[in-house]
Structure 1
Amino acid sequence: MKFTFAHNNLNVYELQKSLDFYKEALGLTVTHEKEADDNSFKLVYLGDGETPHLLELTWLRDMNRAYNLGDNEIHLAFRTDDFDAAYKKHKEMGCICFENPKMGIYFISDPDGYWLEIIPSNE
């Protein structure tokens, strides 16, 4: 028996706001979508165009408040081939939430407060 990664899921409160953020901040684009017959939820899968791994954004129609992320100790990590340009872009977007220069990494926060680690390709 063998298992392979398919996707990671994040629940989002405002779907379009999240889609715009992931496109601008990380260049992720929609690969496909699924919507419930009763419109109670929508799944939107984002890809980077290079790897098979997907990010599934789940929007729930009846969610009437922002998600409580608790201690938010979970994160996704993204490699970039131009760390300095990525840092500049994210600084301009105002989404950098934590920096660790000693380790050569930083984190950005999406519209729902999920942390995303940015690391250089050579790490």
Structure 2
Amino acid sequence: MNFKFYHNNFNVLDLQRSLDFYSEALGLTEVRRKEQPGFILVFLGDGGRTPHTLELTWLKDRTQPYNLGENEFHLAFTVDDYQAAYEKHKKMGCICYENPTMGIYFISDPDGYWLEILPEKR
């Protein structure tokens, strides 16, 4: 029996705002969508560089931000031009934590989820 990663899920309060953020900040694009009366699922991909997707779940009747606890979880992304990514995210104002010693930083999405950014080659 072999298991492999398929997707991660984040629940979002404002679907369009999240789609815009992930497109601008990370270049993720919609690969599929499932719409039901009470919710919409949107799967974002990285242009085929990996098969992994990020599922954004928008619940129609949700009005309160999600409680992320102490936010001790994150997704990690590698980038081929770390410095350019850093400058872009700094300009966007979404960097929430930096660790220059480790050569990484984190950005925060509109719902407060943390995303780790690290150079492609380590």
TM-score by length of 1: 0.97
Deviations 1:13-56 (A, max 9, x none): 000000000000000000000011xx200000000011100000
Counterpart secondary structure, 2:70: coil
Q: Which of 41, 46, 49 is residue 48 of structure 1 equivalent to?
A: 46
The residue aligned with 1:10 is 10
2:109 aligned with 1:110: yes
Letter matched to residue 66 of structure 1: P
Question: RMSD of the alignment, in Å?
Answer: 0.5
2:61 counterpart SS class: coil
Structure 1 unaligned segments of length 5 or more: list them: none
Gaps of 5+ in 2: none
Q: Which amino acid is 2:13 matched to?
A: Y
Secondary structure (helix, strand or coil) at the match of 2:16 reads helix
Using the alignment, how far apart are the partners of 1:111 and 1:29 within structure 2? 17
Question: Partners of 2:105 and 2:40 in 1: how far apart?
Answer: 30
Letter aligned with residue 65 of structure 2? A
Secondary structure of the structure 2 residue equivalent to 1:33: strand
Query: In the comparison of the two structures, how many residue pairs are matched?
Result: 121
**Aligned-pair CA distance for 1:106:** 0.1
Q: Which amino acid aligns with 2:92?
A: M
1:34 matched to 2:31? The reply is no
Deviation at 1:2, TM superposition (A): 1.2
Identify the residue that residue 23 of structure 2 maps to in structure 1. Answer: 23
Q: 1:87-119 CA distances to partner (integer Å, 9 max, x unpaired)? A: 000000000000000000000000000000000
- Helix, strand or coil: the match of 1:90? helix
Runs of 4+ in 1 over 6 A off after TM superposition: none
Equivalent residue, structure 2, for 1:71: 70
1:57 aligns to 2:56 (yes or no): yes
Question: What is the SS of the residue equivalent to 2:10?
Answer: strand
Whole-angstrom distance in 1 between the partners of 2:90 and 2:4: 34
